[in-house]
Amino acid sequence: MKNYPKNIGINFHDLTKRYGTPLYVYDANKIEFQYKLIKKYFFYIENFKINYACKANTNISILNFFKKLGSGLDTVSIQEVEIGLKAGFKPKEIIYTPNGVSLSEIKKAIKAGVLINIDNLSLLEQIGHENPNYPIGIRITPNIIGGGNKKISVGHINSKFGISYYQLPNLKRIVENTGIKVEGIHMHTGSDIIDLEVFLQGAYILLNVASSFNELKYIDFGSGFKVPYHKNDTKTDLDMLGVFFKQKISRVCKNIKIVFEPGKFLVSESGYFIVKVNVIKHTTSTVFACVDSGFNHFIRPMFYDSYHQIDNLSNPSGKLRSYTVVGYICESDTFCVNIKINEIREGDILCFRNAGAYCFSMSSNYNSRYRPSEVIIYNNKSFLIRRREKMQDLLKKMIEIDIG
């Protein structure tokens, strides 16, 4: 298949010959396009910052690429902070928004000098007593339902994330008692936001909270921007959101930086996951296409019931037939059930779309399988950015002893 996808001038079949399967491929031009798209929608906000939420895809070369684009970094663990620093981000370009971590981890972030959003009162009080001079941000839960499904909705009242909006009096008391400097207010209501109204409600609540603090430098409106997963799928209307921010938010936020921290929006559509069909198995009811991967490499379909379009690169004009595509690990690892795909033969190469976010970064070594290689394409040139694992990689960290 020559032109797949149409806008990339590299034959994916050739890539699999060169790098093997399974293989993650990212289109850096698409990443750049998405980054510039957000910039375009919010261009009139003078003090505007995009922080790439790197848990979506933590490969250091991708972080480097975001740095070149002018992005900052949103991190959720001290390890992500360290990778960000290694990629050349300055501490103040990195924001650390952890949940449920220990005080000692936060102290490491303070030592590293990065921006920190705290999301519970207990830690806030402890940090306030020990480091009142280290300015921090506060993660607020606006108590709204955002996010495409329960697992990725994190802004509701029973959420473990953030400090509830209703606890504002407690929050203020701790800030007063400890003298800690609050320089940022943050929210992140969940992934896959479809209802803009809900997001805006959250933004208003955040503004309301912000008015209680007079040394604010930034308001971080989080993310959750949705991308389409199939032809008629919805996406977050950023154009509208931009208009709203122009009319209502940016005026109120004079001299305060407005921050967004998208992950999925920036990298999801740039990614392709390429696998090979090992076996076609007919049962009385189903035709299975068994591929050389599983939820060890690509867990979103099983974990979130997410839909990812699958194309047969080896037989693009083959007759459409129904397939249940499954993996090769000993576990239910069904990628899709009875989906129409161009006729699949053993040895064919299949490609999953939208595999740039929360795909490789959620992979594991389950069944002692190697994690795949990652390749990035920029201006029609391909670059290996992670080599396939080997047996040495698996054994390296194990300690072999003779027990008893």
Ligand X SMILES: *Cc1c(COP(=O)(O)O)cnc(C)c1O
The owner of tokens 């009319």 is 247
Identity of the residue, 74 or 269, whose beta carbon is nearer to ligand X in the bound complex: 74
Identity of the residue, 76 or 377, whose beta carbon is nearer to ligand X in the bound complex: 76
Identity of the residue, 351 or 357, whose beta carbon is nearer to ligand X in the bound complex: 357
The owner of tokens 């921050």 is 259
Tokens of 197: 């109204």
Identity of the residue, 116 or 180, whose beta carbon is nearer to ligand X in the bound complex: 116
Min. distance of Cβ 292 from ligand X in angstroms? 27
In sequence order, which residues have a C-beta less than 8 Å from that of residue 167 and are 6 or more positions away?
121
Contact pick of 19, 265, 298, 352 for ligand X (by CB under 6 A): 265
Task: Please report, to the nearest 10 degrees, the dihedral formed by the alpha carbons of residues 192, 198, 201, 203 taken in order.
Answer: 10
Hey, which residues between 29 and 58 contact ligand X (CB under 6 A)? 53, 55-56
Please report whether residue 141 would count as binding ligand X according to CB under 6 A.
no
Backbone angles phi, psi at 62, to 5 degrees: -70, -40
In sequence order, which residues have a C-beta less than 8 Å from that of residue 357 and are 6 or more positions away?
56, 57, 263, 264, 266, 267, 268, 271
Please report whether residue 76 would count as binding ligand X according to CB under 6 A.
yes
Which among 142, 9, 23, 48 has a CA at the least distance from the CA of 388? Answer: 23
Q: Is 330 a catalytic residue?
A: yes
Contact pick of 49, 67, 188, 276 for ligand X (by CB under 6 A): 188
Hey, which residues between 319 and 358 contact ligand X (CB under 6 A)? 357
| Active-site residue, from 253, 290, 330, 359 | 330
Please report whether residue 224 would count as binding ligand X according to CB under 6 A.
yes
Min. distance of Cβ 234 from ligand X in angstroms? 14
Min. distance of Cβ 101 from ligand X in angstroms? 12
Contact pick of 89, 225, 229, 352 for ligand X (by CB under 6 A): 225
* Number of residues near ligand X (by CB under 6 A): 18
Identity of the residue, 120 or 382, whose beta carbon is nearer to ligand X in the bound complex: 120
Identity of the residue, 294 or 301, whose beta carbon is nearer to ligand X in the bound complex: 301
Q: State the alpha helices, DSSP H only, in 155-237.
A: 168-178, 196-210
What number of helices (H) and strands (E) belong to the chain?
12, 18
Please report whether residue 261 would count as binding ligand X according to CB under 6 A.
yes
d(CA 222, CA 139): 10
Please report whether residue 72 would count as binding ligand X according to CB under 6 A.
no
Helix 121-130 / helix 168-178 crossing angle, nearest 10 deg: 10
Which among 268, 383, 377 has a CA at the least distance from the CA of 7? Answer: 377
CB burial of 22-57 (b: ≥16 within 10 Å; e: otherwise) equals: bbbbbbbebbbebbeebeebbeebeebbbbbbbbbb
Min. distance of Cβ 51 from ligand X in angstroms? 8
Min. distance of Cβ 311 from ligand X in angstroms? 24
Backbone angles phi, psi at 271, to 5 degrees: -100, 145
Identity of the residue, 221 or 295, whose beta carbon is nearer to ligand X in the bound complex: 221
Give the chain's radius of gyration (CA, Å): 23
Please report whether residue 271 would count as binding ligand X according to CB under 6 A.
no
- Which residue's CB comes closest to ligand X? 263
Please report whether residue 262 would count as binding ligand X according to CB under 6 A.
yes
End-to-end CA distance of the chain: 58
Please report whether residue 97 would count as binding ligand X according to CB under 6 A.
yes
Tokens of 341: 């795909």
Please report whether residue 386 would count as binding ligand X according to CB under 6 A.
no
Q: Which stretch binds ligand X (CB under 6 A): 6-14, 25-33, 256-264, 273-281?
A: 256-264
Please report whether residue 74 would count as binding ligand X according to CB under 6 A.
yes
Tokens of 31: 């990443």
d(CA 235, CA 217): 30
- Would you tell me which residues interact with ligand X (CB under 6 A)? 53, 55-56, 74, 76, 97, 188, 191, 222-225, 261-265, 357
Provide the annotated active-site residues: 330
